[in-house]
């Protein structure tokens, strides 16, 4: 592979890694917020 291809793949890997981490963080926060709401009695039937 050429140097440009390697650099592009590295950048795409970073992009994918940061995107995955942000989605997982957001999902964790949503789950935690849902747990607090359930504990407070704010559930839907």
Query: What is the C-alpha separation between 32 and 26, in angstroms, rounded?
Result: 10
Q: Is residue 30 in a domain?
A: yes
Structure confidence by residue, pLDDT tens digits, 2-40: 888 999 999 999 999 999 999 999 999 999 999 999 999
In the chain, the number of structural domains is 1
* pTM of full prediction above 0.75: no
Query: What are the CA-CA distances from residue 21 to residues 16, 28, 34, 36, 43 (Å)?
Result: 9, 10, 20, 23, 28
Q: Is residue 2 in a domain?
A: no
Give the domain extent around 18.
Answer: 11-35
């Amino acid at each position: 592979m050429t140097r440009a291809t390697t650099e592009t793949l590295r950048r795409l890997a970073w992009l994918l890694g940061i995107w995955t981490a942000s989605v997982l963080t957001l999902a964790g926060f949503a789950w935690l917020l849902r747990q607090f709401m359930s504990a407070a009695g704010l559930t839907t039937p």
